[in-house]
Structure 1
């Protein structure tokens, strides 16, 4: 393909279908938070396996309470008490009740629990019920939570705290998950200096490397900073060779713009890379490059911090989720709200524009204030609470128009 043949964002996403997924590993349940499940979890049993009380109260036969009221209570004989963690050894007959704590197992003959607030003690071993209950009120019946054979967690799910809880419930001490994708990060540019250095005029500190490491960790990957490369093609080729050997994905910051200083494209060409994309209809971030070497995806990202960040969020992170086994890996943003744009937003047709915004509540509506800035400015992205997307076919937005804001 020719370099700098601009592709739509949606066309770039389609290329991810062919990306190779990382391997799998078994880990202890306590280490599984945030990892991606490599197989579906199916319930091996009904849960709960026995009828459980959801309240402190008295287990009884619900039909025996019909007609009870404050003015006409119904008496019950208390014949026992359920102990937590033990199955009751007695059976309830007509007009009999047993105290049961929250989570306790109902004795045979009971099909409901009356809350302690709705009973009145008469004497030792006898209570009065002050209201009727329906059958199975305040009770979780066997299999009410989930049934044997039911799909609990799907393959490709990023595990949440509650997911670990359900795995523990069914006795899974270990889980098979996808390995954390190893993501190599290379910075390029003669103007870049380490974060601890005092930049001279014409130099800037290496902010992109740290930002990219944060994004990779956010998505469950394992970042590996492979150092800073000067604007020398031979140095970059050596770094890329090392990265491809060590990593499942490579991110190169800087050196992706069209022209004589397009180091990443030239280095990849000499490595025999399959260049899939060089130029995306997105702003900021048009000079983005996507290639593969030995099935390892390589991203050439813009050097300007805002461009680098937005391209990473829109394009790189979904591809990272894909190789990490996560499903679905799209859309790129998981949280959004509807808002009204606070002022006119100009845009050029034929590209997706991502505008940083701050949000303001006015009555029942949320308004989005655009932060117009250059692609080299990072502070507006830090200050911004969301990104407003101007669609490909639009030539801007009108003040007061309802828009979707992707939350940062």
Structure 2
């Protein structure tokens, strides 16, 4: 008689897993140019101010603002040109009273000047004299030293995920290497006597392996490194040997189990044999994905996924993604992309479990509608055809047609 499992709500199940998992973040140093989407291992502060010299934001003339006060088109200010500030070089000029120097966008403001007059607001009288047709205020059209960032100012906290603009900001300060959390390596073992590799033509009663590749994609998207360990038959000793070898060489283990109760028990037995404390959660109040198994074996997380592809993806999104974020020390995970839409059909449920239903989004009568893509959890194309999922809350009997719902986008 197979052992009956007691289900836990998803949030509670995740907490049980985290409570038994030591928080040890491995670090490594990598080139900033290769650090996109990596998680910082420590706080960064600015080693210098940016910009390090005052710069012009316009093509024009560097001036003392007070020399332009009161200037108008009918009563211009007359200034003497003393030369041009070359781009990429320090200025050899100094602007004195009633003087001006030619500057270009991004160029250095010469000593003595505190503003820039746009070239469009001037008129050249001769090679040595310009008319200023509008007054400028001190600091106008000038970027000051440290206006972007001050030396010693905090840049990013530990646990920050680096975005494209962050890489640019680091490079601007000469930070060409950063300490980041190492990517967790996740071993993925697929099981089932009926499962064959995708490149193989399935025989009668056989199916191609789907879960290995959907889970590998989710691992990579969450910042991990998927380690594909192949397909293991539904045999205890074979699965135990493969799982032990896979877990020893990785930071976490995912076993995609078969659909029957017997294979779920096989996964549970193997996980209990891999190390203490073993299985922590066997059953989660979620549909699809109820027979989920969560465990920790000698300090490493192990997850037993249902064999059906939709169930496996839903469960991986609920547990594997936040697990990998935690293993990298990510403080503020990227917000789930969501859309608000009206539900096109009723969705039934029962209190005590969370239901995840795939939906496609369509525009009708200037409104966004969520159309459920109904299908059994072993049909991968219910996910392929959908653009997101709607969650029916734990305490709900279902959702009604026309109701406003939040769609979690894939």
> 2:154 — aligned with what?
151
Give the 3 Å change call, closer, same or farther, for CA 287–90 of structure 1 in structure 2. Answer: same
1:108 and 2:111 equivalent? yes
**SS of 2:369's equivalent?**
strand
Give the 3 Å change call, closer, same or farther, for CA 365–100 of structure 1 in structure 2. Answer: farther
**SS of 1:375's equivalent?**
coil
Query: Tell me, which stretches of 5 or more residues in structure 2 are unaligned?
Result: none
**SS of 2:218's equivalent?**
helix
Mapped to 2, the partners of 1:3 and 1:80 lie a distance apart of 87
| More off after superposition, 15-24 vs 129-138 | 15-24
1:288-320 deviations in Å (ceiling 9; x for gaps): 111011111000001111111111112111101
Mapped to 1, the partners of 2:292 and 2:196 lie a distance apart of 23
**SS of 1:184's equivalent?**
strand
The answer (yes or no) to whether the contact 2:264–2:291 under 8 Å persists in 1 is: no
- Displacement of 1:363 in angstroms is 6.3
- Displacement of 1:365 in angstroms is 4.1
**SS of 1:262's equivalent?**
helix
**SS of 1:243's equivalent?**
helix
1:136-157 deviations in Å (ceiling 9; x for gaps): 1222111111112221122122
The answer (yes or no) to whether the contact 2:223–2:324 under 8 Å persists in 1 is: no
1:217-243 deviations in Å (ceiling 9; x for gaps): 222211111121111111111111112
> 1:295 — aligned with what?
299
> 1:11 — aligned with what?
12
1:187 and 2:190 equivalent? yes
Mapped to 1, the partners of 2:374 and 2:73 lie a distance apart of 68
Mapped to 1, the partners of 2:232 and 2:263 lie a distance apart of 17
| More off after superposition, 131-140 vs 67-76 | 67-76
The answer (yes or no) to whether the contact 1:76–1:127 under 8 Å persists in 2 is: yes
The answer (yes or no) to whether the contact 2:212–2:228 under 8 Å persists in 1 is: yes
The answer (yes or no) to whether the contact 2:219–2:320 under 8 Å persists in 1 is: no
Mapped to 1, the partners of 2:388 and 2:266 lie a distance apart of 32
1:129-181 deviations in Å (ceiling 9; x for gaps): 23233321222111111112221122122222222222222222221112121
> 2:325 — aligned with what?
321
Mapped to 1, the partners of 2:68 and 2:380 lie a distance apart of 68
> 1:397 — aligned with what?
399
1:285 and 2:286 equivalent? no
The answer (yes or no) to whether the contact 2:56–2:103 under 8 Å persists in 1 is: yes
Give the 3 Å change call, closer, same or farther, for CA 355–28 of structure 1 in structure 2. Answer: same
The answer (yes or no) to whether the contact 1:184–1:247 under 8 Å persists in 2 is: yes
Q: 2:68 aligns with which of 41, 65, 70?
A: 65
The answer (yes or no) to whether the contact 1:22–1:248 under 8 Å persists in 2 is: no
Paired residue total: 405
Give the 3 Å change call, closer, same or farther, for CA 204–195 of structure 1 in structure 2. Answer: same
Give the 3 Å change call, closer, same or farther, for CA 257–299 of structure 1 in structure 2. Answer: farther
1:267-298 deviations in Å (ceiling 9; x for gaps): 22333442121111111111111101111100
| More off after superposition, 252-261 vs 376-385 | 252-261
Mapped to 2, the partners of 1:361 and 1:127 lie a distance apart of 60
- Displacement of 1:3 in angstroms is 6.0
- Displacement of 1:361 in angstroms is 3.4
What is the RMSD of the two structures over their aligned residues, measured on CA atoms? Answer: 2.1
- Displacement of 1:7 in angstroms is 1.3
The answer (yes or no) to whether the contact 2:271–2:302 under 8 Å persists in 1 is: no
> 2:173 — aligned with what?
170
Give the 3 Å change call, closer, same or farther, for CA 75–390 of structure 1 in structure 2. Answer: farther
TM-score if structure 2 supplies the norm length? 0.92
Give the 3 Å change call, closer, same or farther, for CA 64–344 of structure 1 in structure 2. Answer: farther
Alignment of 1:360-379 (within 5 A): 360-362=362-364, 365-379=367-381
| More off after superposition, 320-329 vs 253-262 | 253-262
Give the 3 Å change call, closer, same or farther, for CA 140–284 of structure 1 in structure 2. Answer: same
Give the 3 Å change call, closer, same or farther, for CA 260–316 of structure 1 in structure 2. Answer: closer
Mapped to 1, the partners of 2:367 and 2:84 lie a distance apart of 55
Give the 3 Å change call, closer, same or farther, for CA 123–23 of structure 1 in structure 2. Answer: same
Query: Tell me, which stretches of 5 or more residues in structure 1 are unaligned?
Result: none
> 1:140 — aligned with what?
143
